[in-house]
Amino acid sequence: DAGVTQSPTHLIKTRGQQVTLRCSPKSGHDTVSWYQQALGQGPQFIFQYYEEEERQRGNFPDRFSGHQFPNYSSELNVNALLLGDSALYLCASSSLDRGTEAFFGQGTRLTVV
C-alpha cells in the first residue's frame, strides 16, 4: 500500500500565477481533505471532498478550489497566488463511512516569489 501520495514535492511559482497540486488517497479511502501549513504553524483546514463534491470548507478565499475524481484522487487549485500562499500543503485521506483515521501525505512545499 503506497499510502497517501502527493505531487509535486516542491514547487516555485510567481505571484499572480495559478497552481495545481495533486493527491492520491490511501487504498480504500474515499474522502480527501486539504490543509495549509504555514511555517511554524499548525495545519489549517482548507476543504474536504467526498463523492466528488466539496463537503465542507474552512476559512479560505474562493481563490482556493478543488476537485475530486471518480477514482477518489483530488486536486487543489490556487489562483492569483499571493506571497502569503507560500506554505506546505498537506493532503489527508480517510473513509468517513468506516470511521477511519486520517492519513497524511508528505506534502507539497509551495513557494511564491
Partner 1 sequence: GNSVTQMEGPVTLSEEAFLTINCTYTATGYPSLFWYVQYPGEGLQLLLKATKADDKGSNKGFEATYRKETTSFHLEKGSVQVSDSAVYFCALSVGGSTLGRLYFGRGTQLTVWP
**Nearest residue (CB) to partner 1, 74 versus 94:** 94
Smallest distance, partner 1 to C-beta of residue 14, A: 24
**Nearest residue (CB) to partner 1, 13 versus 55:** 55
Smallest distance, partner 1 to C-beta of residue 89, A: 10
Smallest distance, partner 1 to C-beta of residue 16, A: 28
Phi, psi of 72 (to 5 degrees): 80, -10
List residues binding partner 1 (CB under 8 A).
Answer: 4, 6, 31, 33, 35, 40-45, 48, 56, 58, 90, 92, 94, 96, 101-107
What the block records as the C-alpha cell of 51 is: 463523492
**Nearest residue (CB) to partner 1, 17 versus 39:** 39
40 Cβ neighbours under 8 A, 6+ residues apart: none
**Nearest residue (CB) to partner 1, 56 versus 77:** 56
What stretches of the chain adopt beta strand conformation (E)? 5-7, 10-13, 19-24, 31-37, 44-50, 53-57, 64-68, 74-78, 87-94, 103-104, 108-112
Residues in the chain: 113
